[in-house]
Amino acid sequence: MLLVRAPPSPPPLSAATNFPANLERPLRLRGVSSSHAGVATAAAAAKPAASSLGGQKRKQVASVANPLVKHCVKLRLSAAYRRSCRRLLLVGLAPILEVCRFELDAIDYLLLMDGVEVPEALREFSGDVVHVSAAVMKKVSGMQSVDSTEAIAVMHMPNHFRDLGSHEDGDALDGLLSYPKRILVLDGIQDPGNLGTLIRSACAFKWDGVFLLPACCDPFNEKAIRAARGASLQLPIVSGTWHDLHALMTKYGMKMMAGHPESSSDASKGIYSLSKELADSLLNESLCLVLGSEGNGLSAETLQACELVNIPMEGLDTWE
């Protein structure tokens, strides 16, 4: 699998840093976008505490009006903000521990409830540990009860995620996908749990990457990350249009196939049934497999561009 190290975290603040009295005033940095300035403002907003452990910087946040809290809430709610900041939010100890198996250094902040010690599994974490009040934990997590919310982490978005519609990334895929053999293409998958599960499946089968066509939900939505169980932080993920996908397919000579139910009436071409013979014939082919959305199925562009294949399932005709 392709494991790409996340960009280095910004330099930690010294305990002797003098913080401005008005923390609500936006931090203006020359040549830095407002979203990146927001990250810098959040970094300065947590009050340093006297204690430290294993190189960790201990800080304290008690107010929901703190800029760090506002930054975290926007990361949870806004895909556009996540992409502009290149940061994401992990809610809950289980997904954080999954991520730490691969990208411990990618975490900017670890938020813990007041009085809670850093878990033993995270003792090697050397970033900022921010102890927060129950009100702050509820605000950041979006949950009414924080009894099961042991921790929240703010971390860098993986380097191997590309949004081809963004000004920053353009269409630079060089070095991300090198002669791929298998790409999973998702066409309008809107349920975060389903999208995360499909990304995890692609990772489990050792496919080379995932391509998200328009109308897919954000892969770094909190529910999608939880369902992916760390796979979205290991596997190259590209968000783009059919034009971008066609360019990728042409560059690497990839065959296009799409999953399609045999009983559906929206296909004007023949549909292959999945068989051992068909699978064997594709062994040496570079393949993009397109899966459609839960409600609408495959888009018109996919139906036109792809060969269609279904998985025969005995006994289902009795339900029609």
One digit per residue, pLDDT tens: the chain, 320 residues? 333 333 343 343 333 333 333 333 332 322 334 555 566 666 666 665 545 555 567 899 999 999 999 999 999 999 999 999 999 999 988 888 887 877 778 899 999 999 888 888 888 888 899 999 999 999 999 988 888 788 999 999 998 999 887 644 444 566 788 889 999 999 999 999 999 999 999 999 999 999 999 999 999 998 999 899 889 988 999 999 999 999 899 999 999 999 988 655 555 567 878 888 888 888 999 999 999 987 888 999 999 999 999 887 766 554 44
Q: What whole-number distance in Å separates Cα of residue 90 and Cα of residue 222?
A: 6
Q: Could you tell me if 57 and 128 are in contact, meaning their C-beta atoms sit under 8 angstroms apart?
A: yes
Q: For residue 262, what pLDDT is reported?
A: 65
Q: 210 with 199: CB under 8 angstroms? A: yes
Contact 312, 262 (CB under 8 A): yes
Beta strands in 34-106 (DSSP E): 47-53, 56-61, 87-91
Task: Answer yes or no: are the C-beta atoms of 47 and 23 closer than 8 Å.
Answer: no
> From the CA atom positions of the chain, what is the Rg in Å?
22
Contact 209, 237 (CB under 8 A): yes
Burial pattern 248-285, b for ≥16 Cβ within 10 A else e, equals: bbeebebebbbbbbbeeeebeeeeeeeeeeeeeeeeee
According to the model, what pLDDT value does residue 2 have?
A: 33
Distance CA 166, CA 244 (A): 13
How does DSSP classify residue 11? P
Largest CA distance in the chain: 73
Select the CATH number that applies to the domain covering 161-310 from these four: 3.30.930.10, 3.30.390.10, 3.40.1280.10, 3.30.70.360.
3.40.1280.10
Angstrom distance (rounded) from CA 311 to CA 262: 8
- pLDDT number for residue 167: 45
Domain ranges of the chain: 59-156, 161-310
CA dihedral 246, 249, 254, 258 (to 10 degrees): -40
The predicted structure's pLDDT at residue 208: 95
What pLDDT, on the 0 to 100 scale, is given for residue 53? 52
Cα 144 to the center of its chain, rounded Å: 24
- Answer yes or no: are the C-beta atoms of 172 and 276 closer than 8 Å: no
pTM, rounded to two decimals: 0.77
For 59-156, CATH gives 3.30.1330.30
* Alpha carbon separation from 130 to 16, 189, 224 (Å, rounded): 17, 35, 25
Task: In whole angstroms, give the CA distance from residue 253 to residue 258.
Answer: 16
